[in-house]
Amino acid sequence: MKNNKLRLLIAGDKTRFIHLKHLITELGKIGIESKLIYDLEFIDKFFEMNIKKKIDRNKNFREMLNEFNPDAVLLDRISKIGKKVIEQNIPLLILLRGNLWEESSWAKKTIYKSRIKKLALAKNERLIDFCLKKSSIILPISKYLENEVEKRYPEKNIQLFSADGRIPEEWFSITGKKLKHPSVGLLQGLNIWGKSKELLTLKNVLKELPHVTFYLAGDGIYRNEIIPQLENFKNFIWLKNLRYPEEVKEFFSEIDIFLFLSGMEGLGQTIIEALLMKKPTIATNVGGIPELIRDNESGLLVKNGDDKKIIEYITKFLNDSIFAREMAETGYNMMKQNYSWKTIADNLLVILKKNGYVE
């Protein structure tokens, strides 16, 4: 870069626009001009047969690039737009949010059984490998993911970038859902079996704590493998998907304890939100989660499948309100300091300066 005015094109999923817009606002304050686009508007489906649509998408993408003239492109998720950026010789920065290799492995074992789905998965794996190899910088959001990338692409420029920011002042208690108490809340998707299967650990917890009501918010393709087993217990209630962020804030406002059970996790966005809502939190000690929760300081960590510890920790929080409140307060302060959008933008600027994109 010749000057400090970097133009950064950010491409991602529309469901993340609510967060990425905050990042763009903070980047603007420190001299980085950004443009946000929905990646699927400019790329074809894997088996796209409509030639006119393909031509139009390519034309629209070239026109958008010519108009904005980005100095670099940041992908919030890997998609075919990465290949197009590489073909245009524009530096590509890839934000790595999850263990793509583990996720792909679980997909092969569970839902990707048909020949067409296997072909699509294999094609996606080749795309991921191509984009990562050709990228200028890979930005894993946790040290756990940083290690996973280094094992597979040791020659690449890999920079840790915890990109999951929030505006702390927006996460405050509001009146909404009327839940039974004492209550334990869980908020997570059901789309990756390697993550979701850990929820089945709840069965013995539900049995041993009949006076506690457990609320699970979230949905996904594995609902039928999980929800019916948990609904056998009277103290389990499935809330399906909640409207974000209003109903999510209502949910956090009402629950007494937040519980996050996952078999694998890049970092854990809902943990950030729960701690910003000052909820005493228990989570599995996997992936990037221990980078958010310091055990017995800002929350409590349990090993995979350790239902006895979950029961012990829930009981501890419920019986010792001072302990629960102090731990939640510590968690809040840590999230406020490390995961505000201002902090995230400042960290990205450091990376861009270090790699010569900004003077």
* pLDDT per position as a tens digit, 144-186: 999 999 999 999 999 999 999 999 999 999 887 689 999 999 9
Determine the residue type at 154: P
How many helices (H) and strands (E) the chain has is answered by 14, 11
Contacts 24+ apart (CB under 8 A), 313-320: 313/282, 314/184, 314/205, 314/209, 314/212, 314/257, 314/259, 314/282, 315/209, 317/256, 317/257, 317/280, 317/282, 318/182, 318/212, 318/256, 318/257
Topology given in CATH for the domain delimited by 168-338: Rossmann fold (3.40.50)
pLDDT band at 3 (very low <50, low <70, confident <90, very high): very low
If DSSP states are collapsed to H, E and C, what string results for 107-146?
HHHCCCCCHHHHHHHHHHHHHHHHHHHHCCEEEECCHHHH
Q: Give the 3-state secondary structure percentages of the chain, helix then strand then coil, rounded to 5.
A: 50, 15, 35
pLDDT band at 48 (very low <50, low <70, confident <90, very high): low
Mean pLDDT along residues 39-49: 75
Residue 83 CB contacts under 8 Å (≥ 6 apart), including other chains? 127, 130, 131
Mean pLDDT along residues 197-221: 98
Q: At what angle do helices 321-338 and 307-319 cross, to 10 degrees?
A: 100
The per-residue pLDDT for 47 is 57
Residue 243 DSSP symbol: -
Mean pLDDT along residues 16-35: 96
The per-residue pLDDT for 151 is 97
Range with lowest mean pLDDT among 41-55, 101-115, 175-189: 41-55
% of the chain surpassing 70 pLDDT = 97
Please answer whether residues 182 and 212 qualify as being in contact, where contact means their C-beta atoms are separated by less than 8 angstroms: yes
Residue 256 CB contacts under 8 Å (≥ 6 apart), including other chains? 181, 182, 183, 184, 279, 280, 317, 318
Q: How far apart are CA 310 and CA 182, in angstroms?
A: 15
% of the chain surpassing 90 pLDDT = 87
Q: Which of 159, 164, 165, 162 is nearest to 139 (CA)?
A: 159
Portions of the chain given CATH number 3.40.50.2000: 6-165+340-354, 168-338
The per-residue pLDDT for 53 is 79
Exposure letters 325-347 (e unless 16+ CB within 10 A, then b): eebbebbbebbbeebbbeebbeb
pLDDT band at 46 (very low <50, low <70, confident <90, very high): low
- What tens digit of pLDDT does each residue of 213-230 get? 999 999 999 999 999 999
Q: How far apart are CA 63 and CA 52, in angstroms?
A: 16
The per-residue pLDDT for 2 is 41
The per-residue pLDDT for 1 is 42
Q: What sign for the dihedral angle of Cα 47, 51, 52, 57?
A: positive
Helix or strand holding residue 331 (H, E)? helix 321-338
Average per-residue pLDDT in the chain?
A: 94
- What tens digit of pLDDT does each residue of 332-349 get? 999 999 999 999 999 999
Q: Which of 187, 178, 238, 180 is nearest to 210 (CA)?
A: 180
The per-residue pLDDT for 27 is 97
Mean pLDDT along residues 298-322: 98
pLDDT band at 88 (very low <50, low <70, confident <90, very high): very high
User: In the CATH scheme, what is the code of domain 6-165+340-354?
Assistant: 3.40.50.2000
Residues facing 166 on adjacent strands: 340
The per-residue pLDDT for 118 is 85
3-state secondary structure of 161: coil
The per-residue pLDDT for 57 is 87
- What tens digit of pLDDT does each residue of 246-296 get? 999 999 999 999 999 999 999 999 999 999 999 999 999 999 999 999 999
Residue 103 has which token pair?
A: 């996720």
Please answer whether residues 158 and 331 qualify as being in contact, where contact means their C-beta atoms are separated by less than 8 angstroms: no
